[in-house]
Amino acid sequence: MDTHADLLIEIGTEELPPKSLSSLSQAFAEQFQLQLESQRIAFSTIEPFATPRRLALLVRGTQTRQPDQIIERRGPAVQAAFTADGQPTPAALGFARSCGVEFSKLGREETGKGAWLSYHSACPGMEIAQLVPAMTEAALAALPIPKRMRWGDREAQFVRPVQWICLMLGDQPITGTVLGIAATPSTRGHRFHHPDPIALYSASDYPEVLRATGYVEASFARRRDLICEQVEALAQAHGLHVQIDSDLLDEVTALVEWPQALLCRFDIGYLEMPPEVLIETMQSHQKYFPVDDGNGVLQASFIAITNLVSRDPELIRAGNERVIRPRFADAAFFWSNDLKQPLSAFAGRLETVVFQDRLGTIAEKSRRVARLGRTLAPLLGADPQLIKHAAHLAKCDLVTSMVFEFPHLQGIMGRYYAQHDKEDPDLCAAMQEQYLPRFAGDRLPSNSCGIALALADRIDTLVGIFGIGLRPTGARDPYGLRRASIAVLRLLIETPLDLDLSELLQTAYEGYAPGMLTEDTVAAVFAYMLERLQGYYSDRGIAGDTVEAVIQTGLTNPWDMDQRMAAVTAFRRLPAATSLAAANKRIRNILNKVDGIDTGRIDPALLTEPAEARLAARIGELSERLDPLVKQRDYINLLDALSDLKEDVDAFFTEVMVMSDDLRVRHNRLRLLQSLAGLLMLVADLSRLQSL
């Protein structure tokens, strides 16, 4: 008898939320795997399926029966299990009750530490068919669904009403109920092409039966690839290039079961609007794929994905073209209406738009950003007046008709409106670039005006939100402070900008009214950003102790810190690195144990040992050589030069007794170690390095 078979679980529903379909499918597979493991049921693989109307799993090579389980339990020691007259003690009787047997059924187990009461029993494994319904319900209950719903008069809850349940093990149906619905050995096809139930005779046939009979491609990944292939082939056939947004592709995949691509067109006159407006309309409102000429120039066409094979494709095409027209007409109205006045005319409306109820309006924030931006201007080689004007205009597009309708176009529309007003090209670019970088790996602003706005806006937000006590905790970060911190650090490090972060935070803090923010705001924000800096370098593969070694120097200039990170990373590869790091730790330990070290000059007359005299000479020589390297921030060559100290340092600790009985000699040697420690701290606290 075959002890393994394929297991099919299908949950048929009303239309599932498209944006969470993929994550629900993955979570269902993960949760059911946990159920299999908890029940000690072996399997080969789990293949998830997801369409708008179903979540399904095909568990290949599933063990059809649980393995038998031997239960072994040890109770109290025999010595403590009986009273003086030979009767079982309460502890012994309690152990028997916990095992579900009479005391006389207990055994004894002899060990090297004595004899113990014991209980052994064999628990036969159950057939998996008996367990699947309850396991399925448990997996569904664990799915990440923020709000569940009931339907009809049922008590069961799920993200959408459940219409059918299919459970099969090999070629045998599994009886039972899931969410109050009796399981059957049948699935359902496409809502229009094959609405009737489809009988299944084997669990493994599920995907192919749906594909061949039901007009349903049940695999999310395969359906996604199919849509990609169709739209690319259709565009290429008409000499076009299709723009495929990954998130949109996922959403469209979650909306259809049998995708069919269709090329549609719109009035060429709409191309007079910014292409981003048309693309946003097509993607966000209608779930269409825009097309261009291959050089990025948008064309008056789009590709729609329908969910059926139509006998009259022209009718479907005309319907999609008819639906997009009023959308474009609305956008054209917003565009022309916004252009009736200059971008600066919208600034007054910002006085009534609240940024944060305790921090004031967006207009007030814009004035703070302008103040900080003017401070940054000379450091960036920019015109302070231009940055002030840019900050005044930066958020004006938020109250335009176009951005009110299409929030994702903030900044983009600001750039177009500023260009229409013949503003400075750098200012126009800054309207959009102020939001860069938007995500990990995104590009940075390209000009000083954009950099100033991007820095000032985020620093103002960080200082303000921290200052009123709304600091991120756990998973809650409603103001995006983690993302803002990483953006500021990237701007300072990767642009690069030789700026003091602590001073920038202090300048922003001073832009708020006295007493408005807590006194520890700057220190709290800086500490928070240092934590983000550790994550930033971790993502770049920099060792955590390298980051810690540099941070311990107390630097507040992220770009300078970055130079030191690179130098320490290179230093770690040198043969002398291990010895110097160990020596630094030893020096730290010695100095930390000594109170009141005389910090005067080293007395050459007290250098009685050749090893300490050589080390003192080398320190003096290196101090002169290293000073220009420090000024030039040539940290790699600086650490390379320090590595030459290895033999002299090793000899010192081998041949010299630091804690001499002669107090003058002892203090002189401690001063020598202080000098050496100072050199070893020029780049980073090398004592923090753990493994080299």
Same structural domain, 276 and 152: no
Tokens of 418: 């500023």
Predicted confidence at residue 469, as pLDDT, reads 94
Mean pLDDT for 24-53 is: 96
75-80 LR contacts (CB < 8 Å, sep 24+):
75/106, 75/116, 75/117, 75/118, 75/119, 76/116, 76/117, 77/114, 77/115, 77/116, 77/117, 78/108, 78/114, 78/115, 78/116, 78/117, 79/114, 79/115
Q: Is residue 556 part of a domain?
A: no
How many helices and strands (H and E) does the chain possess? 25, 18
Query: In percent, how much of the chain has pLDDT > 90?
Result: 72
Same domain, 168 and 27: yes
The pLDDT value given to residue 245: 96
Instruction: Report whether pLDDT(106) > 70.
Output: yes
pLDDT tier, 597 (very low <50, low <70, confident <90, very high otherwise): low
Kind and range of the H or E run holding 532: helix 521-539
Query: Same domain, yes or no, for 57 and 200?
Result: yes
Secondary structure of residue 61 in the 3-state scheme: strand
- 619 and 654 share one domain: yes
Measuring CA to CA, how many Å separate 363 from each of 341, 398, 464?
19, 11, 15
Q: For 52-56, 275-279, 636-640, which range has the lowest pLDDT when averaged over its residues?
A: 636-640
**What does the alpha-carbon distance between residue 414 and residue 115 come to, in Å, rounded to a whole number?**
83
Encode pLDDT of 151-202 as tens digits: 988 888 999 999 999 999 999 999 999 999 999 999 999 999 999 999 999 9
User: 546 lies in a domain?
Assistant: no
| Same domain? 110 vs 141 | no
106, 123, 140 — which closes off a domain?
A: 123
Share of the chain above pLDDT 70, in %: 99
Secondary structure of 319-339 as H, E, C letters:
HHHHHHHHHHHHHHHHHHHHC
**Are residues 375 and 460 both part of a single domain?**
yes
CATH for 496: 1.10.3210
Residue 650 three-state SS: helix
Residue 248 within any structural domain of the chain? yes
Q: CB within 8 A of 417, min separation 6: which ones?
A: 338, 339, 342, 343, 396, 397, 400, 431
Q: Kindly report, residue by residue over 309-340, the tens digit of the pLDDT.
A: 998 999 999 999 999 999 999 999 999 999 99
Last residue of a domain, one of 197, 212, 227: 212
> Does 452 reside within a domain?
yes
Looking at the fold, whether 513 and 369 belong to one and the same domain comes out as yes
Q: Among 338, 368, 393, identify where a domain stops.
A: 338
- What per-residue confidence (pLDDT) applies to 235? 97
H-only helix segments in 62-167:
90-99, 128-141
Quote the number of domains for the chain.
5
> Is pLDDT above 70 for 596?
no
Per-residue pLDDT, 489: 97
Give the global pTM: 0.82
Q: Decide: 465 and 483 in contact? Cβ < 8 Å.
A: no
Helix (H, G, I), strand (E, B) or coil at 255: coil
Quick check: 509 pLDDT over 60?
Answer: yes
Selected residue with higher pLDDT from 304 and 604: 304
SS3 410: coil
Give which of 49, 57, 51, 58 is closest to 17, Cα–Cα. 51
Question: Are 269 and 326 found together in one domain?
Answer: yes
User: Looking at the domain assignment, is residue 547 inside a domain?
Assistant: no
247 within 8 A of 224, measured Cβ to Cβ: no
- In the predicted structure, residue 122 carries a pLDDT above the cut 80: no
Helix axes 425-433, 448-467, angle to 10 degrees: 40
| pLDDT for residue 1 is more than 60 | no
**Longest pairwise C-alpha distance within the chain:** 106
Relative orientation angle of helices 384-393 and 362-380, to the nearest 10 degrees: 150
The per-residue pLDDT for 642 is 86
For range 336-349, the mean pLDDT: 97
Instruction: Please check whether residues 154 and 33 belong to one and the same domain.
Output: yes
Q: Is residue 345 part of a domain?
A: no
Identify whether 557 is part of a domain.
Answer: no
Q: Are residues 78 and 19 in the same domain?
A: no
425-456 burial, b for 16+ CB within 10 Å, e for fewer? ebbbbbbbbbbbbeeeeeeebeebbbbbbbbb
Direct distance between the N- and C-terminal alpha carbons of the chain, in angstroms, rounded to an integer = 58
Residue 295 to residue 200: CA distance in whole angstroms: 49
The whole-number average pLDDT for the span 635-648 is 88
301 and 423 belong to one structural domain: no
* Top-confidence residue, 25 or 124: 25
Residue 496 makes CB contacts below 8 A (sequence gap 6+) with 559, 562
Domain residues for the domain of 573 are 564-688
Vertex 121: Cα angle to 119 and 126 (nearest 5): 145
Residue 618 vs residue 596, higher pLDDT: 618
pLDDT for residue 691:
65
For residue 114, pLDDT beyond 90: no
Average pLDDT, the chain: 92
Measured between alpha carbons, how far is residue 102 from residues 10, 83, 89, 119, 295 in Å?
45, 18, 14, 11, 84
Asked if 149 and 158 count as a contact pair (C-beta separation under 8 A), the reply is yes
Helix (H/G/I), strand (E/B), else coil: 187 = strand
**Residue range 232-280, pLDDT digits in tens:** 999 999 999 999 999 999 999 999 999 999 999 999 999 999 999 999 9
Q: What is the mean pLDDT of residues 616-642?
A: 90
My answer on whether 61 and 148 are in the same domain is yes
Helix, strand, or coil (residue 293): coil
Which residues pair with residue 164 across a beta bridge? 12
Residue 224 lies inside a defined structural domain of this protein: no
The token duo for 515 is 């007493």
Q: What gap in Å lies between CA 339 and CA 153, rounded to an integer? A: 55
